Amino acid sequence: MDQNEPKQLAIVSGKGGTGKTTIAAAFASLAKNKVMVDCDVDAADLHLLLQPKIVTQDKYFGGRSPHVDLDLCTQCGLCTKVCRFNAIDNGVVDPVSCEGCGFCFHICPESAITMEEAFSGDWYISDTSYGPFIHARLGIGEENSGKLVTVVRKKAVEIAKEKNLGLILIDGPPGIGCPVTASLTGVNLILAVTEPTLSGIHDLERILKLTEHFKIPSMVCINKFDINLENSQQIISYCDKNGSKLVGRIPYEPKVVEALVNRKTVMDHPCNEVQGIVQKMWEEVESVLRQKA
């Protein structure tokens, strides 16, 4: 890897609600010289804590949808017959049901249908008191979030290079689907945030298998580790066995919720015990990132 390339850290979780964004926001407060990216474009919420001031806003055209020239359409009904999604009726398209497969375009005997790029969402470059922040909002009902993730990540790399910032801090989408894959490719290190519940363990295993597949080193943080010590121990054993370093154990602390309600990162709200743990976690993550070529 080019030494001048910014290092990329992705904070991920097997499912939503594990505290991933809380950690991402806390790291945003601790890390220096970085660009932050919210890749959870389906349910973006890092902006709630970073309180960005939007500098530029762009439209994202992710999919394609049919446009029908009704002057050419003879209402032959062929498109209605072939569409598996019941999304077109004699040349009249239902954009919510349309999956953009293009079958109608190919089948129309009058060449009345063209496939046009469809608006899928907005993406933003913002200023925050923690540094530049790239985020996005996928349009309602849109599903091309993997592509939108790629757009915001590319922008983040551009800005990091332009401003000579050495780190890209990614708040990844939950799960293991296409947007997660788009968030992970090319990152230097992954921090997986989990909770000691049975579903948390299962989801962690899935996300670590994915990181293994991509050969990306991973670290693990157990959030609210003290709500079930037995399950926490199981996670620790799993990490030992699979070569993922356990980097932090955060206890359940109502002040963390209080910070979120006040739209503050845990580092900017009185929350001493958790702050100390997160600070140590960041130092360890940063030192591993520094070693990455």
Q: Which residues bind ligand SF4 (CB under 6 A)?
A: 66, 68, 73-79, 83, 85, 87-88, 90-91, 93, 98-104, 108, 110, 112-113
Closest by Cα among 31, 26, 32, 25 to 47: 25
Complex with ligand SF4: residue 12 or 108, whichever CB lies closer: 108
Complex with ligand SF4: residue 118 or 190, whichever CB lies closer: 118
For residue 118, the minimal CB distance to ligand SF4 (Å) is: 10
Complex with ligand SF4: residue 115 or 289, whichever CB lies closer: 115
Complex with ligand SF4: residue 115 or 236, whichever CB lies closer: 115
Q: Which residues contact 246 (CB under 8 A, 6 or more apart)?
A: 219, 220, 221, 222, 235, 236, 239, 240
Q: Which residues contact 114 (CB under 8 A, 6 or more apart)?
A: 66, 67, 69, 105
Q: Are 33 and 132 in contact (CB under 8 A)?
A: no
Complex with ligand SF4: residue 63 or 251, whichever CB lies closer: 63
For residue 142, the minimal CB distance to ligand SF4 (Å) is: 14
Distances (CA, A) of 61 to 94, 136, 148: 18, 12, 9
For residue 262, the minimal CB distance to ligand SF4 (Å) is: 45
Q: Are 142 and 63 in contact (CB under 8 A)?
A: yes
For residue 159, the minimal CB distance to ligand SF4 (Å) is: 35
- Beta bridge mates, 36: 133, 169
Closest by Cα among 179, 170, 248, 165 to 210: 179
Phi, psi of 35 (to 5 degrees): -115, 140
For residue 149, the minimal CB distance to ligand SF4 (Å) is: 24
Complex with ligand SF4: residue 75 or 181, whichever CB lies closer: 75
For residue 140, the minimal CB distance to ligand SF4 (Å) is: 17
Complex with ligand SF4: residue 81 or 163, whichever CB lies closer: 81
Gap between the Cα atoms of 132 and 125, Å rounded: 7
First to last CA, the chain: 6
SS3 76: coil
For residue 78, the minimal CB distance to ligand SF4 (Å) is: 4
Q: Are 90 and 149 in contact (CB under 8 A)?
A: no
